[in-house]
Amino acid sequence: MRFIIALASLLTFVGCSSEPNKITSPSDKPVVVSPESDPAETAEVKMVAVKVTGMMCPHGCYPEVKSLITKKNDIESIELTPQEKKDVIDNPVILVKYRGVLNKEETTKAIIEAGFEKVEYTEQ
């Protein structure tokens, strides 16, 4: 019961509006509320192919590289390119979809420090 009384009081003070981005103030003047937007959310999705020399197995190497790339960037998706053999990476290329800027310098540093030989980027 207290909740209903509190809610009724709040609605009386703030007012109701059928427009979701407008709130009626106590003085009955509409106030426009602008939702804050994250620039990374509104940035266009880009894709880059990342070749990681030394990435040889899809069960150990690939998940590690995927994790390192994800930690350093705003990633939409990461997938290993198709391979000829099931349990071996013969084409060490990962397709990365991201928003904003891909931090290639930090990403490369992290991958090299993890023991992989070389990292190359090709914009798609």
pLDDT (0 to 100) of residue 72:
83
Q: Which domains does the chain have, with CATH numbers?
A: 2-32 (no CATH), 39-123 (3.30.70.100)
Q: Is the pLDDT of residue 23 over 50?
A: no
| pLDDT tens for each residue of 45-91 | 999 999 999 999 999 999 999 999 999 899 999 999 999 998 999 99
pTM: 0.66
pLDDT (0 to 100) of residue 33:
47
Alpha helices by DSSP H, listed for the chain, are: 2-14, 39-42, 61-72, 104-113
Q: How many residues make up the chain in this entry?
A: 124
Q: pLDDT: is 46 or 23 the higher one? A: 46
d(CA 2, CA 5): 5
Q: Which of 53, 63, 49 is nearest to 95 (CA)?
A: 49
